Structure 1
Amino acid sequence: MIDRGKRSVLGVSIDAVDLDAAVERIAAAADLRRPYLVSALAVHGVIESARDRGLRASLNGFDAVLPDGQAVVWALNALYPVELPHKVPGPTVMTALLDRSAAERSSVYFYGSTPATLDRIRVELDRRYGERLEVHTRPSRFGAVDRAGLDDIAEAINASGAQLCFVGLGCPRQERFVAAVGPSLAMPSLAVGAAFDYLAGTIQRAPEVIQRFGLEWAHRMAQEPRRLAGRYVTTNSRFVVEVSRQVGRQRVLGRPAAAPVLEVPATVPELVDA
């Protein structure tokens, strides 16, 4: 189990952990019935956070920001002596937590996506776990929600009795939602993005060998070229350039840069996409 604390990648504080450590930390918070804010952040999320101070401030206040993306792991290893062997993908973390929840006969909540996708998730989870796992769902409103509306959502999630809340709204909407709603939940809340579509079977996940070479983004882009091509070309190239600059600065200094001073999280906006 690897847990080497938080490290700064382009000003975003990312946890240098492996899968086992991430799952144990989240499960421990679930057992205690306390809030625990989690994001599984890939290259796109790191770049969005690096250029959006409010988003970065919120993420730097999360309990765990997992390195979801082999390129993020490579960046951590290049910048710090953490020696992480693998990424910690949101879908894999979610599957491990679902297995654990089913073994304990507890319940989980899925917030986000569409009714059709959530229905497919219910069917798949029933196939896997049957009555051992209680599943609650609520689709995205696909629009801005005010503080009162967010409080209503939090109340409904808490009333379900779930021990985990998975959020699938796409990055960075889901991170903003977790920042706004997560502190009010009596359970961990996890921004896991495409994990909903993988579980529902609407998107096929890349084979393991493609993931190990850091090419899962290419597999995703091949399935959704119109939506993702521009994003990946822009963010991936910028990530390489900016991380190379950070590595260069640290080599000039002769030591790794310290983890970032945690910024005071930005005030929750009056309206948050939910």
Structure 2
Amino acid sequence: MIDRGRRNILGIEISVVDYDGVVTAVIDAARHRRALGVSALAVHGVMTGALDPEQKYRLNALDILTPDGQPVRWALRLLHGQRLPDRVYGPELVERLCAAAERQGLSIFLYGSRQLVLDAWTANLHRAHPALRIAGTAPSQFRALTREENIRMVERIKVSGADMVFVGLGCPRQEAYVFENRNALSMPLIAVGAAFDFHAGLLPQAPKWMQDRGLEWVFRLWQEPRRLWRRYLYLNLLYLWFVARQRLGLDKAWHENTRHPTVAKRLG
């Protein structure tokens, strides 16, 4: 198990962890009813914080930010000499957490995406993990919740008896939701984005050889070019430029400004 604390990548404090380290932390928090905020961050997630001080504040206030994308894992090695055997990929982390929850008799709640996706994923979970209890599901509203709606959602999750929540609202809304609600819920909240569609069987994953070489973005861009072109073509190049500048010691004060002094606005 690897858990070596956190390291700064573009001002975002990425956790130097492996799958076992994250699963152990989540299961322990779930068993002891302890708040825990987790997000699996690829390049896009890192850049949402690098370009927005309020989102940077939210991200760095979470407990675990896994290196979901290979370029994030590589930056840990380039900038800090931290070598990991693999990235901690959101969909794989979800699968391992579901298996661990089944073994431990813990229940899960699925919050996000569309009802069609939730129904398909629930059916797949029943087949793959027949002893796993799904305490409840709730689709995204695809907009910011009002304060009253958010309170009702928190109560709905509490009443369900869930021990952990998978949050799939899309980045950066899902990280904002975890930031705003983890203490109110006193359980692990794990932001995992596209894992909902992948595990529902409605969105194919890139071949492993592409994932291992950091080319998953090419596969996803080919699938959804109109939606993802800016995220991958513009932000990927900007990420490489920023990482290079951090490696050269430029913009040092900017990269070290990991916490914004003001309270972040709600996105939930």
- The question of a shared fold, defined as TM-score above 0.5 by the shorter chain, is answered with yes
Q: For 2:68, give the aligned amino acid.
A: D
Query: Contact 1:203–1:223 (CA<8 Å) still a contact in 2?
Result: no
Residues 227-256 of structure 1: per-residue CA shift (max 9 Å, x gap): 112210001000101001100118xx9xxx
> Which residue number in structure 2 is paired with residue 272 of structure 1?
267
Secondary structure of the residue aligned to 1:77 is: helix
Unpaired stretches in structure 2, ≥5 consecutive residues: none
> Which residue number in structure 2 is paired with residue 64 of structure 1?
64
CA gap of 1:87–1:266, structure 2 versus 1, over 3 A, is farther
Q: For 1:55, give the aligned amino acid.
A: Q
Query: Contact 2:42–2:72 (CA<8 Å) still a contact in 1?
Result: yes
Secondary structure of the residue aligned to 1:145 is: coil
> Which residue number in structure 2 is paired with residue 110 of structure 1?
110
* Count of equivalent residues: 266
> Which residue number in structure 2 is paired with residue 49 of structure 1?
49
Q: How does 1:40-189 map to 2 (within 5 A)?
A: 40-189=40-189
Query: Contact 1:13–1:260 (CA<8 Å) still a contact in 2?
Result: no
How many angstroms does 1:262 deviate by? 5.2
How many angstroms does 1:170 deviate by? 0.7
> Which residue number in structure 1 is paired with residue 239 of structure 2?
239
Distance 1:265 1:130 in 2: 46
Q: For 1:272, give the aligned amino acid.
A: L
Residues 100-136 of structure 1: per-residue CA shift (max 9 Å, x gap): 1112232100001111110101111111122443341
CA gap of 1:131–1:25, structure 2 versus 1, over 3 A, is closer
Query: Contact 1:106–1:134 (CA<8 Å) still a contact in 2?
Result: no
- More deviation, 82-91/124-133: 124-133
- More deviation, 127-136/157-166: 127-136
> Which residue number in structure 2 is paired with residue 206 of structure 1?
206
Secondary structure of the residue aligned to 1:153 is: helix
Unpaired stretches in structure 1, ≥5 consecutive residues: none
CA gap of 1:103–1:83, structure 2 versus 1, over 3 A, is same
Q: For 1:267, give the aligned amino acid.
A: V
Residues 39-73 of structure 1: per-residue CA shift (max 9 Å, x gap): 11100011111010000001111110111000000
Secondary structure of the residue aligned to 2:145 is: strand
How many angstroms does 1:93 deviate by? 0.9
Secondary structure of the residue aligned to 1:263 is: coil
Residues 61-94 of structure 1: per-residue CA shift (max 9 Å, x gap): 1110111000000111000121112110111111
Distance 2:160 2:148 in 1: 19
Q: How well do the aligned residues superpose, as a CA RMSD in angstroms?
A: 1.9
Distance 1:148 1:266 in 2: 23
Residues 2-57 of structure 1: per-residue CA shift (max 9 Å, x gap): 21111000001110111111111111111111110011110001111101000000
Query: Contact 1:178–1:191 (CA<8 Å) still a contact in 2?
Result: yes
Distance 2:16 2:166 in 1: 22
Query: Contact 1:61–1:262 (CA<8 Å) still a contact in 2?
Result: no
Q: Does 1:23 align with 2:23?
A: yes
Q: For 2:38, give the aligned amino acid.
A: V
How many angstroms does 1:195 deviate by? 0.3
Residues 161-197 of structure 1: per-residue CA shift (max 9 Å, x gap): 1111000011111111111122211210011000000
Secondary structure of the residue aligned to 1:134 is: strand
- More deviation, 64-73/99-108: 99-108
How many angstroms does 1:144 deviate by? 2.1
TM-score, normalisation: structure 1: 0.92
Percent of pairs identical after alignment?
41
Q: For 1:238, give the aligned amino acid.
A: L
In the TM superposition, structure 1's runs of 4+ consecutive aligned residues that sit over 4 Å from their partners are: 259-262
CA gap of 1:266–1:97, structure 2 versus 1, over 3 A, is farther
